[in-house]
Amino acid sequence: MTTIHYDLTVDDLIHFNQLVAYKRLLMFMLVFWFVLEMTFLVQYISNNDLKAFLTSTGTEIIALGGLSLSLFYPRRMAIVGAFIIVFIAVALFLSTADPVPAKISSFLTLLPVMLIAGFGGLGINIFLAYFYQGKNGMTGLHELTVDPTGLLEKTDINETKHTWAAISRIDQTKDYILLFIGSPKAHLIPKRSFKTPNDAIQFFSEVSELKRQSST
């Protein structure tokens, strides 16, 4: 039997979303975008306006690509997004002979795309930070005990026990050990909680072996 103690922060939970939930979100967005584009393609072809379709598709690809990057690099993409917004605004107002109202209209048309591409991930992370702060038991100190019968997690306000049969997968990254309970949920254990890197390696080996033994 082994017992470990670790402290989960909001940043840890956001990082877990980057590891698991964001990938699912991106797949959903890609499928939704493809279906939408096929619908628009039929409409544009029927109206004989392929140029408008290509312009619309290019804009959506930029927005989706920027959002994908901002989910994993929110602060960097926010800086890039702010720079692009300023650059586009200056370029529009200095490089065209259109009247000012037309320039403003063009800028406002592009602004939602630039906001989504540059600040979408940061906005989602701010929402998650607010969401997780109100979830008692998710952040703060955790105690996890593992033995041949399963694992027991304790916090200040709850206690959860799972048999090894409930653990669908055990994985690790450079910074975390993950004990998955189904696909989107997991016990997230920061490796910084261990005294040495070797302790983290030993714990990962122990839980992997306990899971293997329970399956035989």
Domains along the sequence of the chain with CATH: 15-133 (no CATH), 139-215 (2.30.29.30)
Tell which wins on pLDDT, 40 or 7. 7
Mean pLDDT of 124-141: 75
Mean pLDDT of 199-214: 92
Mean pLDDT of 169-195: 89
Give the model's confidence band at 126: pLDDT under 50 very low, under 70 low, under 90 confident, else very high: confident
- Nearest residue to 186 via CA among 148, 216, 153: 153
d(Cα 191, Cα 176) in Å, to the nearest integer? 5
d(Cα 143, Cα 7) in Å, to the nearest integer? 9
- Nearest residue to 210 via CA among 161, 142, 144, 163: 163
- CB neighbour list of residue 110: distance below 8 Å, 6 or more residues apart: 88
Burial code (b: 16+ CB inside 10 Å, e: under 16) for 173-184 equals: eeebbbbbeeee
CA 31 to chain centre: 17
Per residue in 12-46, pLDDT tens?
A: 888 888 777 766 777 777 777 777 777 767 766 66
Tell which wins on pLDDT, 123 or 57. 123
Helix, strand, or coil here: 141? strand
> Could you tell me where the DSSP H helices lie in 47-99?
50-72, 74-95
Give the model's confidence band at 128: pLDDT under 50 very low, under 70 low, under 90 confident, else very high: confident
Give the model's confidence band at 115: pLDDT under 50 very low, under 70 low, under 90 confident, else very high: confident
Give the model's confidence band at 134: pLDDT under 50 very low, under 70 low, under 90 confident, else very high: low
